Amino acid sequence: MSKYEKKIEVRNIRFEDIDEIMALWNRCFPNMEPWKREQLESHIRIFPEGQFCVEFEDKIVGSCSSLIVNFDEYDDQHTWAVITDNGYITNHDPDGFNLYGIEVMVDPEYRRMKIGHRLYEARKELARQLNLQSIIIGGRIPNYHKYKAEMTPREYVAAVEKHSIYDPVLSFQLLEGFSIKRINSKYLPDDKASESFATLMEWNNIDYLPKSRRVYRASSPVRICAVQYMMKKIDSFGDFARQVEYYVDVASDFGSDFAVFPEIFTTQLMSFLEEKRPDQAIRRLATYTDQYIELFTELAVRYNVNIIGGSHFVEEDGDIYNVAHLFRRDGTIEKQYKIHATPNETKWWGIAEGNEIHVFDTDCGKIAIQICYDIEFPELARIAVDKGANIIFVPFCTDDRQGYLRVRYCAQARAIENQVYTVLAGTVGNLTHVENMDIQYAKSGIFAPSDFDFPRDGIVGECDANVETIVVGDVDLEVLRRSRNSGSVRQLRDRRRDLYRVELKQLNVD
């Protein structure tokens, strides 16, 4: 009878299987970036129990990979790269609650042999053995590209659920007992068939027994380095670049997500321009805009830090604007124009005012930038927070203690009023040869709402006054979210919208 036997086995993947699995990928997904050997080796080394293959007649015809996570620690719209640590699963958490499936492959020549079902059953049994709460997967929808012109991803998924459309992956996963939690965009960029969309799905282990009564709370920390920048005479743009790079290097060494520089700190360049008229000096300063942008873009990428590049005077169509730039560590750039020019800026420099309130997406959530005087107008912060901002960065430049305290008190007020973090970064020192920039006063800091979940006095950290230094502090976006929902006071929720509102007008500006 042995000549009629067909041996099929589900087992854990071994190192000697890697070449076969890489070849299997090329047969299953010829148009997608394949596994690297070091990724598969990392899977086996870190979590061998979670890597399965199906061997039929001494040939690997299916495989799947997975890791354990505490899913509450990940963003709802996470990507495949984030949840797998770029395919290396070094974020595997043996104490986590969820088995996360990151890939399933079945050889096209061996489909309809329940290969995929066998792999899913192996995962379910592993979840039971390890007493895991659930299995979560980000599922492809490979037939969606055929329907994208006529329906949204949500409509497509609903049609598949109703069995009016067949999708080879989603239809199968629904039959395996998985339920749809949400649709993630940009999940797998090279999945052209799915238009990069994926269905986040979950199978719940009904045999799960809670491991303890302890409640684990998620955390979403962001590390910020605010630079209290010393204004001193320099002889060239190179001197400026070296001073700036030093601080970016320091911020990077501290593992900072953001490095924040002060308002118009590039006026330090005016110390070697030898132009006495302030209005002409800033126009000469504006000619350094390209070098300024090139410098900070390079530093953000090289040191892997998002940089709030203080602010810089920029000339556009004959007008001079005070502009703050966000240099993301992925090399992209955004800018926020100062909306309110101070009487001093108008008198000495003729600064033009911006008209838009921006909120920027970053890899650490949504942020806003409000330059110095702008933080003294509470409507701007309210609008930014309503647009989703969790952190408001405030580059500032003040020449006396009264001016500094106006910025400081308003920044702390905005943190309380809007349940948001605010960050001040100011200039110190003096530029004795620069008209209207001769003295500086600052005490930079990082501020939080005032409630039990936050540091005492709402101060995450602050510098001593008028010394060249930095302040580094961690702010937690998850703590902020919980405080907004269940804090001692909930200013965002408790506003009497039936009585008043803040409205942003749309200006027609040529």
What are the residue numbers of the active site?
263, 338, 372
Residues 6+ apart with CB under 8 A from 244: 261, 295, 296, 299
The string of DSSP letters for 311-374 reads -EEEEETTEEEEEEEEE-TTS-EEEEE-SS--HHHHHHH-PBPP-----EEEBTEEEEE--GGG
- DSSP-derived 3-state class of residue 137: strand
- DSSP-derived 3-state class of residue 262: coil
Strand partners, 393: 369, 423
CB atoms within 10 A of CB 127: 23
Token duo for residue 485: 């929902």
As a whole number of angstroms, the distance between CA 18 and CA 434 comes to 66
Helices 401-418 and 378-386: angle between axes, nearest 10 degrees: 40
Could you tell me what percentage of the chain is helix, strand and coil, using 3-state DSSP and rounding each to the nearest 5? 35, 25, 40
Report in angstroms the alpha-carbon separations of 1 from 5, 6, 104, 277, 402.
7, 11, 33, 101, 96
Question: Which amino acid is residue 228, in one-letter code?
Answer: Q
Report in angstroms the alpha-carbon separations of 238 from 243, 285, 291, 326, 454.
9, 15, 10, 21, 41
Kind and range of the H or E run holding 25: helix 18-28
CB atoms within 10 A of CB 81: 13
